Structure formats: structure tokens, C-alpha cells
Structure 1
Amino acid sequence: MNATLAAQAVALEAAAQLARALGHLPGATVTVDRIYPGQLCVGLHNGLGDFEAWREALGIPAADVCLKEFRAGAMYLKATGKYAGAEIELTGFASVAEGDAACAPSAC
């Protein structure tokens, strides 16, 4: 799909609303893709604490988070939710050593 900028308006407005309402959250890489124009992707690269802060603020249940090791020594957490009409894809990257040893990888 080759969406127009107007098609991305919901996700862009959600990003603006997040910045205004939850500006205390750790900084993130925030993107809106033309292929999924209603989706706001939030990437967190500074550890699991940042991911958890965002997850809690967005009201995403911990049970909805999947964990996957994607290469030796590195993992990511992924969860989705809704905010201001946009789908939010939250992804947090960390070293496996930082992750909870009790967490088993789950399908993402």
C-alpha cells in the first residue's frame, strides 16, 4: 500500500498526543510507516526499564508482551495496544543478561 500523508494522520496525531500527555516517558524512536499508516511504532533501545515504563503508561497488560531472543546475547520485547485511535507497536531491545532469567521466549 502506498498511503498518502493524510492516511497517516491518525498515527501522527497519536504521536503528538503521546508527547503532550506522557511527555515524562523515556525518549524513543517513533515511526509511522506508509505501509501501515494507522500504526505508530515505538522503539526503545535503552533497556527493559524504558519498555516497562511505556507499557504501563499505555495500559498494555504484561501478559500481552512477547519476548524473543533474536541473536546470541540480544533480545526484544514486543507488545501492541491502542492510543488515540492508532495501533501502537511497542518494541524494546536489551541484552539477554538484562532480561529476567525466568522469562521464556514466546512467539511474536
Structure 2
Amino acid sequence: MSFLTMNDLAAPLGLLRLLAADFAGLPAVNVDVSTIFPNTLELVSHDDFGAFEAWRSALGIEADSVSYAEQSGGQTRVLQAETDHTGVRLRLTAYSHSHSHQDNAGEVAA
């Protein structure tokens, strides 16, 4: 088994530093850098598709490259897009509750 060092994560961490400087005014999102995918930086927004859209636009990701899915029986909507940025895979993900999920009484919430 090989062990990674922090140097092995230098590329995505460097990209994070660059994005923080270049896009300081964009909405804050969760950040994930993983030893499982050491050349990937993931930016994740929860309950805010607007933040996803702001980042997508700033990163120059084409709208038609965004994928849409539902999970948790249709209760959660998911947007995802990926791009290569300075040699790092940059994954942008957003989760939001569906507007048509059912409440405890069994009625459809608006």
C-alpha cells in the first residue's frame, strides 16, 4: 500500500488557493480534496442552486454540460458539472430539496 503526502495534493490545493483569490466574491461552498482522487477538487453547494450557477458561470462551464439527477426517491435534486482547470479535475456539485416532496401529513408541499 502506498501512502500519499500533502505534496501529492498540491495541485488541487493550489487550485483552491487560486479560486479563493480570483473569485473571492462568489458564494462559499463546501470544499473536498480527497486522497482517493488526489487530482480532483470538488466544490459542493447545499440547498443553493444559485451558488452552483454563479460558480458554473465564473468557471466558464457550458450550461449544456450540467447533468441533472434526483436521489432519495425524488426528494433531492442534484446538479453536477466537471471541467479541467490547470490540470486538475474540478467537480461542481449542488444538492437541493425538491419542491414537490411530501410532508408528514402526506400532502404535497409547494
Normalised by the size of structure 2, how large is the TM-score?
0.82
Report if aligned partners of 1:2, 1:34 keep a CA contact under 8 Å in 2: no
**How far, CA to CA, are the matches of 2:97 and 2:42 in structure 1?**
21
Q: State the Cα distance separating 1:83 from its structure 2 match.
A: 2.1
Are 1:16 and 2:17 matched, yes or no? yes
Report if aligned partners of 1:3, 1:35 keep a CA contact under 8 Å in 2: no
SS at match of 1:78: strand
C-alpha RMSD of matched pairs (Å): 1.6
* Structure 1 residues not aligned, in runs of 5+: 99-108
**How far, CA to CA, are the matches of 1:88 and 1:7 in structure 2?**
16
Report if aligned partners of 1:17, 1:84 keep a CA contact under 8 Å in 2: no
User: For each residue in 1:10-49, what CA deviation from the matched residue of structure 2 results, as whole angstroms up to 9, or x when unmatched?
Assistant: 0000000000001111001011100111100111013111
Q: State the Cα distance separating 1:81 from its structure 2 match.
A: 0.8
Which letter does structure 2 place at the counterpart of 1:4? T
- For 1:104, the equivalent position in structure 2 comes to none
Which runs of 4 or more aligned residues in structure 1 lie more than 3 Å from their structure 2 counterparts after TM superposition? none
Which letter does structure 1 place at the counterpart of 2:84? K
Q: State the Cα distance separating 1:2 from its structure 2 match.
A: 4.2
Q: State the Cα distance separating 1:90 from its structure 2 match.
A: 0.5
Are 1:80 and 2:82 matched, yes or no? yes
SS at match of 2:99: helix
Which is greater in Rg? 2
Pairing 1:1-108 to 2, within 5 Å after superposition: 2-71=3-72, 72-97=74-99
- Among all aligned residue pairs of Structure 1 and Structure 2, give the percentage whose two residues are the same amino acid: 32
* Structure 2 residues not aligned, in runs of 5+: 101-110
**How far, CA to CA, are the matches of 2:4 and 2:36 in structure 1?**
7
SS at match of 1:97: coil
> Would you say how many aligned residue pairs link Structure 1 and Structure 2?
98
Normalised by the size of structure 1, how large is the TM-score?
0.83
